[in-house]
Structure 1
């Protein structure tokens, strides 16, 4: 983790990412960092994502570091669906949700 991170000293996964579409970001940033960090432990709400897939991810910036956890993701509300309590792969994001994303408030 970069210096000043709230998770410094803990195990983390670092993912290099390409931001295809950004719906919300701090107004003082021109672009989001190209790396994201997430806990490596599932009990700490760590994300496991696959290379080459597109996801709908939410996160926060802390001292210039992009952090994300499962507990803060935009998810479907139906516990019967496979996507419940999981990261949404973009191709599985319902069309209705895709249309609402630009209206979400932080």
Structure 2
């Protein structure tokens, strides 16, 4: 019961502080002038938002997957024979799944930079 009362008290205090800061803050509604980019007093020449390369994103995702895979395959293990066999089998299974995924991406042309 004490935990529930503590939780409710913390929730009430934090929501009260949130609403107080929202009311007191000096921010006003956003206008067109505040949302536009500032370029030394001139109107912007081009759009400030550049398109993001999806190929770069895919390569970064593949790198992240292989990076996490290394942390899965190289754990600290005991010297018991059964644990080493289990580690070896799971490592091989993970490698096979990753190689099949890489092969699939390669065949679909996801790794090509120019199209």
Range of TM-score over shorter length? under 0.3
> Quick check: which one's helix share is greater?
2
Larger Rg: 2
TM-score of the superposed pair, with normalisation by structure 2: 0.17
**Structure with more strand by fraction:** 1
